[in-house]
């Protein structure tokens, strides 16, 4: 029982950043914009959150910084792909290249003079576990109710995002823009503005996902802190079939892989660490293959029809 | 009056030259702002970078050392991108080729004639790169699995696999715990031209010409062009789309593989940590800046290599993070992408037409 609780605890903690970012990218892709810049945005989110927390001592300010930086980078993507009609794949890749480079640069520049201006190896304020009375003392359930505040917020975000997408007028407009921008345009929806809004909003959430890494999951700044999580999120969006309610399953699967990896390493197995570390990446490929195969069989996965296609509103 | 975008049939020639140049200048300006924010003199920094990359013959050969793998991986990436196959797995293909070439160099010398060891190491390396690229290619053509993520995930797998070898069974017993294999026998060393610059340069230049010829002067190149612009039209023309995509991606993987095989046989002479330092990602920038033209890839690779070498130099001389080079490279892409509006579209001002055609969707394939 203890082993189950401890694996579940780590699973949820590892899955938190994945869920926030997955919901963010679902919103973006629902507007028909594919953002492959997540890895870079998450990296910058992690960096700015830690730098802000370290210098101001305020966790609220740290979250704000990560959200603002995430939104700003996503705004660049929106400008390039919506206004300038650039290729979404290449624009996203360039955001990732730029974001990872800038994070690495700033990580060696924003630290205190005493640490040679580096942020590596410092510790700052972090989100600690807040146990919920009674529920946090029950067996197994305590892994859910003995988490940090960001995780609780994310558990609320999942139903909210689902409700917004499927039960509100704004959600309907968003889905219609992703499915058929011409029809949405004809209905009087401002397609470009919708795409901007949800790309930026999605980036904001992805930035917060990065913040959870540097403020709670692995507190502190380290080069390559995201370790490909931004890319895994792109696969999780497919896994969730663009539905926020399902975002949790993929995140739990990958969080679970992290947790098992962690336990095995701690227990000291004969399997080389490199092979254990391959698991999330191999699992991503497996998930992709399965989902794509299933999509062709059942034809009801639900990728927004206009995903990745620039909308040209020529004349009216 | 309304702005009106018209897709050009072929990219505007003037814009093809102006946009990359303007992008480079814009990246210099943006990087200057970043440096000024940290109270660093941009002019002195760029001067130090330039001197570090081109200041002496030795510096120039070091720039070439980085330009060679960039040219090869960029050729590979550009070929795949021509088909809209987003191969961002050049890094992994390079690493797997490095592993395979090392395998030949370390373990085949007992039963292979000495003169054949090097050519075999390079060929097996290319084959390994192609094999690694065949996984996303086959998944894409048979099951329509998105290649972007598969190629990217395979990068991590390849790097971890190489790690497991030089930290594990292949580790040099005389290496004092250094993560690397024993040095290769001398027969498996790729000759150098000057400094550490090696004959991989000739391979890269020759292959750029070959690839340009293949793409622009042969029937196959013409077919690839049609597949790239519209797979549906290609099928209609009776072109075997799947077979051609797989073939082109195998070739793309082999080119990236050649880069890895050259790195281990010419530079490190062993498989060791630090083989994967991001050439495969910089290659994406090079390919895009070269507008996927093989002939433009050589000069652009040298420019990008100079930014990398210059970045290392300012770290040593001025204590600035070497990631500055990476930031500069990332910044080049933004204006490039914004500029594609001017290379790919003709912008016209037009009076609104009554009852004009319904807004069309662009690029839906």
Residue A56 in this model has a pLDDT that exceeds 90: yes
What architecture is domain A2-298?
Orthogonal Bundle (1.10)
Residue B204 in this model has a pLDDT that exceeds 80: yes
Contact B326 A282 (CB under 8 A): no
Confirm or reject contact between B144 and chain A (CB < 8 A): yes
**Residue A217 DSSP one-character state:** I
Give contacts of B168 with chain A, Cβ < 8 Å. Answer: 272, 274
Contact B149 A231 (CB under 8 A): yes
Contact B360 A90 (CB under 8 A): no
Contact B161 A281 (CB under 8 A): no
Give contacts of B363 with chain A, Cβ < 8 Å. Answer: 309-310
Residue of A nearest to B40 (CA): A109
Closest CA relative to residue B252, chosen from B275, B222, B284: B284
Please state the φ and ψ torsions of residue B348, each to the nearest 5 degrees: -130, 150
Residue B268 in this model has a pLDDT that exceeds 70: yes
Q: Are A262 and A268 in contact (CB under 8 A)?
A: no
Q: Which of the four pLDDT bands, split at 50, 70 and 90, describes residue B323?
A: confident
Residue B62 in this model has a pLDDT that exceeds 80: yes
Q: Are B235 and B130 in contact (CB under 8 A)?
A: no
> Which whole number is the average pLDDT over B252-279?
95
Percentages (nearest 5) of helix, strand, coil residues in chain A: 70, 0, 25
Closest CA relative to residue B205, chosen from B193, B218, B195: B193
Enumerate long-range contacts of B273-279, CB under 8 Å, 24 or more apart.
B273/B163, B273/B166, B273/B179, B273/B180, B275/B94, B275/B95, B275/B98, B275/B162, B276/B91, B276/B94, B276/B95, B276/B155, B276/B158, B276/B159, B276/B162, B278/B91, B278/B326, B279/B66, B279/B69, B279/B70, B279/B73, B279/B90, B279/B91, B279/B94
Confirm or reject contact between B267 and chain A (CB < 8 A): no
Q: Which of the four pLDDT bands, split at 50, 70 and 90, describes residue A300?
A: low
Task: List Cβ neighbours of A8 (8 Å cut-off, separation of 6 or more).
Answer: A140, A143, A144, A259
Q: Are B68 and B255 in contact (CB under 8 A)?
A: no
C-alpha dihedral, B3 to B9 to B14 to B17, nearest 10° = 110
Residue of A nearest to B151 (CA): A285
Contact B330 A272 (CB under 8 A): no
Confirm or reject contact between B341 and chain A (CB < 8 A): yes
Q: Which of the four pLDDT bands, split at 50, 70 and 90, describes residue A6?
A: confident
Residue B12 in this model has a pLDDT that exceeds 70: no
Mean pLDDT for chain B? 89
Tokens of B279: 């050439």
> Which whole number is the average pLDDT over B62-78?
97
Give contacts of B156 with chain A, Cβ < 8 Å. Answer: 228, 278, 281
More confident of the two residues B360 and B200 = B200
Enumerate long-range contacts of B321-324, CB under 8 Å, 24 or more apart.
B321/A104, B321/A105, B321/A107, B321/A108, B321/A109, B323/A101, B323/A102, B323/A104, B323/A105, B323/A108, B324/A105, B324/B31, B324/B35, B324/B45
Our CA-based measurement puts residue A167 at a distance from the nearest CA of chain B, in whole angstroms, of 29
Share of chain B above pLDDT 90, in %: 65
3-class secondary structure, B56 = coil
Share of chain A above pLDDT 90, in %: 60
Q: What is the pLDDT of residue A139?
A: 76
**Residue B180 DSSP one-character state:** B
Contact B361 A312 (CB under 8 A): yes
Contact B153 A282 (CB under 8 A): yes
Task: List Cβ neighbours of A140 (8 Å cut-off, separation of 6 or more).
Answer: A1, A4, A5, A8
Q: Which of the four pLDDT bands, split at 50, 70 and 90, describes residue B175?
A: confident
Q: What are the E-state strand segments in chain B?
A: 2-7, 192-194, 197-198, 345-350
Closest CA relative to residue B54, chosen from B44, B64, B45: B64
Confirm or reject contact between B4 and chain A (CB < 8 A): yes
- What is the distance of C-alpha A5 from the center of its chain? 25
Give contacts of B308 with chain A, Cβ < 8 Å. Answer: none
Our CA-based measurement puts residue B217 at a distance from the nearest CA of chain A, in whole angstroms, of 27
> Which whole number is the average pLDDT over A116-120?
90
Contact A281 B156 (CB under 8 A): yes
Q: Residue B260 and residue B98: Cα distance in Å, rounded?
A: 5
Confirm or reject contact between B30 and chain A (CB < 8 A): no
Confirm or reject contact between B164 and chain A (CB < 8 A): yes
> Which whole number is the average pLDDT over B309-319?
88
Contact B326 A284 (CB under 8 A): no
Measured between its terminal Cα atoms, the distance across chain B in Å is 31
Give contacts of A84 with chain B, Cβ < 8 Å. Answer: 337-338, 340-341
Give contacts of A288 with chain B, Cβ < 8 Å. Answer: 145-146, 149-150
Task: List Cβ neighbours of B307 (8 Å cut-off, separation of 6 or more).
Answer: B49, B53, B325, B328, B329
Restricting to A residues 90-109, those with a Cβ less than 8 Å away from any Cβ of B are 90-91, 93-94, 97-102, 104-105, 107-109
Please state the φ and ψ torsions of residue B123, each to the nearest 5 degrees: -65, -45
Give contacts of A101 with chain B, Cβ < 8 Å. Answer: 323, 326-327, 329-330
What DSSP line would sit under A160-204, residue for residue? HHHHHHHHSHHHHHHHHHHH-HHHHHHTT--HHHHHHHHHHHHHH
Q: What is the pLDDT of residue B352?
A: 46
Our CA-based measurement puts residue B320 at a distance from the nearest CA of chain A, in whole angstroms, of 8
Share of chain A above pLDDT 70, in %: 97
Domain ranges of chain A: 2-298
Contact B358 A182 (CB under 8 A): yes
Confirm or reject contact between A41 and chain B (CB < 8 A): no
Alpha helices in B144-199 (DSSP H): 147-167
Q: Residue B143 and residue B299: Cα distance in Å, rounded?
A: 38
Q: Residue A294 and residue A301: Cα distance in Å, rounded?
A: 8
What ipTM did this prediction achieve? 0.87
Confirm or reject contact between B38 and chain A (CB < 8 A): yes
Give contacts of B146 with chain A, Cβ < 8 Å. Answer: 238, 288, 292
Contact B145 A99 (CB under 8 A): no
pLDDT tens digit string along A169-210?
A: 999 999 999 999 999 999 999 999 999 999 999 999 999 999
Q: What is the pLDDT of residue A267?
A: 80
Q: What is the pLDDT of residue B162?
A: 96
Q: Which of the four pLDDT bands, split at 50, 70 and 90, describes residue B350?
A: low
The residues with which A146 forms a beta bridge, in sequence order, are A131
Give contacts of A47 with chain B, Cβ < 8 Å. Answer: none
pLDDT tens digit string along A158-171?
A: 999 999 999 999 99
**Cα separation values, B187 from A47, A66, A227, B120, B190, Å:** 47, 53, 38, 11, 8
Restricting to B residues 281-300, those with a Cβ less than 8 Å away from any Cβ of A are 281, 284-285, 288
Q: Which of the four pLDDT bands, split at 50, 70 and 90, describes residue B9?
A: low
Q: What is the pLDDT of residue B10?
A: 62
Share of chain B above pLDDT 70, in %: 91
Q: Are B158 and B92 in contact (CB under 8 A)?
A: yes
**Cα separation values, A28 from A40, A71, A136, A174, B130, Å:** 16, 12, 35, 9, 34
Q: What is the 3-state secondary structure (H, E, C) of B277-345?
A: CCHHHHHHHHHHHCCCCHHHHHHHHHHHHHHHHHHHHHHHHHCCCCHHHHHHHHHHHHHHHHHHHHHHE
Tokens of B87: 């191969």
Q: What is the pLDDT of residue B357?
A: 40
Q: What is the pLDDT of residue B224?
A: 93
Residue A270 in this model has a pLDDT that exceeds 80: no
Contact A274 B285 (CB under 8 A): no
Q: What is the pLDDT of residue B29?
A: 93
**Residue A226 DSSP one-character state:** T
What architecture is domain B17-348?
Orthogonal Bundle (1.10)
Q: What is the pLDDT of residue B3?
A: 64
Of B150, B337, B359, nearest to A185 by CB-CB distance is B359
> Which whole number is the average pLDDT over B142-168?
93
Q: Which of the four pLDDT bands, split at 50, 70 and 90, describes residue B328?
A: confident
Of B34, B326, B360, nearest to A312 by CB-CB distance is B360
> Which whole number is the average pLDDT over B50-63?
95
Tokens of A9: 């605890």
The residues with which A120 forms a beta bridge, in sequence order, are A221
Closest CA relative to residue B197, chosen from B60, B358, B341, B339: B60
> Which whole number is the average pLDDT over B261-278?
94
Confirm or reject contact between A173 and chain B (CB < 8 A): no
Q: Residue B307 and residue A299: Cα distance in Å, rounded?
A: 48
Residue count of chain A? 316
Residue of B nearest to A83 (CA): B338
Q: Residue A140 and residue B47: Cα distance in Å, rounded?
A: 61
> Which whole number is the average pLDDT over B52-59?
95
Confirm or reject contact between B321 and chain A (CB < 8 A): yes
The residue assigned the tokens 């593989």 is: B257
Tokens of B83: 């088909």
Residue A141 in this model has a pLDDT that exceeds 70: yes
Domain ranges of chain B: 17-348
Nearest-5° Cα angle at B38, B37 to B42: 80
> Which whole number is the average pLDDT over B249-253?
98
Q: What is the pLDDT of residue B251?
A: 98
Q: Residue A234 and residue A226: Cα distance in Å, rounded?
A: 14
> Which whole number is the average pLDDT over B120-132?
98
Tokens of A202: 């999605």
Pairing outcome for strands B345-350 and B197-198: unpaired
């Amino acid at each position: 029982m203890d082993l189950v609780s401890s694996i579940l605890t780590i699973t949820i903690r590892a899955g938190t950043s994945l869920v926030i970012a997955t919901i963010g990218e679902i919103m973006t892709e629902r507007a028909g914009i594919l953002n492959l810049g997540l890895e870079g945005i998450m990296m910058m989110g992690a960096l700015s959150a830690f730098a802000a927390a370290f210098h101001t001592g305020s966790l609220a300010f740290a979250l704000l910084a990560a959200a603002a930086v995430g939104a700003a980078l996503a705004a660049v993507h929106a400008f390039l792909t919506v206004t300038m009609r650039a290729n979404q794949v290449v624009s996203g890749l360039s955001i990732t290249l730029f974001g990872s480079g800038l994070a690495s640069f700033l990580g060696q520049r924003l630290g205190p003079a005493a640490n040679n201006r580096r942020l590596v190896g410092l510790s700052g304020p972090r989100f600690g576990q807040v146990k919920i009375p009674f529920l946090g003392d029950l067996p197994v359930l305590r892994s859910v109710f003995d988490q940090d505040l960001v995780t609780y917020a994310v558990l609320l975000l999942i139903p909210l995002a689902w409700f917004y997408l499927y039960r509100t007028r704004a959600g309907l407009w968003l889905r219609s823009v992703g499915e058929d921008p011409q029809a949405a345009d004809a209905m009087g929806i401002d397609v470009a503005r919708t795409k901007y809004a949800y790309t930026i909003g999605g980036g904001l959430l992805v930035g917060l996902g990065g913040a959870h890494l540097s403020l709670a999951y692995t507190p502190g700044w380290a080069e390559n802190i995201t370790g490909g999580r931004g890319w895994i999120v792109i696969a999780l969006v497919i896994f969730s079939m663009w539905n926020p309610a399902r975002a949790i399953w993929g995140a739990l699967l990958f969080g679970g892989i992290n947790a098992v990896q962690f336990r095995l390493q701690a227990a000291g197995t004969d399997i080389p660490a490199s092979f254990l570390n391959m698991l999330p990446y191999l699992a991503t490929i497996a998930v992709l293959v399965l989902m794509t195969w299933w999509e062709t069989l059942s034809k009801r996965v639900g990728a927004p029809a206009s995903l990745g296609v620039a909308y040209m509103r020529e004349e009216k | 009056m309304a702005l009106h975008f018209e897709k050009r049939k072929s990219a505007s020639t003037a814009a093809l030259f102006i946009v990359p140049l303007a992008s480079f200048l814009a990246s210099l300006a943006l990087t200057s702002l970043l440096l000024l924010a940290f109270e660093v003199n941009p002019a002195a920094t760029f001067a130090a970078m330039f001197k570090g990359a081109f200041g002496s013959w030795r510096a120039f050969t070091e720039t070439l050392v980085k330009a060679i793998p960039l040219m090869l991986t960029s050729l590979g990436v550009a070929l795949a991108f021509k088909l809209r196959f987003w191969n961002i797995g050049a890094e992994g293909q390079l690493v797997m080729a490095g592993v395979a070439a090392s395998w030949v160099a370390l373990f085949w010398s007992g039963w292979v004639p000495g003169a054949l060891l090097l050519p075999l190491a390079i060929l097996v390396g290319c084959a390994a790169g192609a094999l690694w690229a065949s996984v996303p290619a086959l998944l894409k053509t048979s099951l329509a699995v998105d290649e972007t993520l598969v190629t990217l995930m395979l990068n991590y797998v390849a790097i971890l696999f190489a790690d497991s070898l030089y930290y594990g069974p292949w580790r040099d017993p005389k290496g004092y715990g250094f993560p690397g294999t024993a040095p290769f026998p001398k027969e498996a060393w790729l000759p150098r031209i000057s400094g550490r610059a090696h004959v991989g340069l000739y391979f890269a230049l020759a292959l750029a010409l070959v690839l340009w010829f293949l793409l622009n002067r042969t029937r196959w190149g013409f077919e690839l062009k049609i597949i790239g612009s519209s797979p549906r039209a290609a099928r209609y023309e009776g072109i075997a789309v799947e077979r051609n995509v797989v073939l082109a991606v195998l070739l793309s993987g082999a080119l990236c593989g050649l880069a890895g095989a050259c790195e281990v046989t010419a530079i490190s002479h062993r498989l060791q940590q630090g083989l994967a330092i991001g050439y495969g990602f910089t290659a994406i920038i090079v390919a895009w800046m070269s507008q996927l033209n093989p002939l433009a890839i050589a000069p652009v690779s040298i420019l990008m290599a100079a930014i990398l070498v210059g970045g290392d130099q300012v770290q040593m001389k001025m204590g600035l993070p070497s990631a500055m080079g990476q930031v500069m490279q990332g910044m080049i892409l933004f204006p490039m992408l914004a500029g594609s509006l001017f290379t790919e579209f003709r912008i016209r001002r037009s009076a609104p037409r009554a009852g004009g055609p319904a807004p069309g969707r662009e690029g839906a394939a």
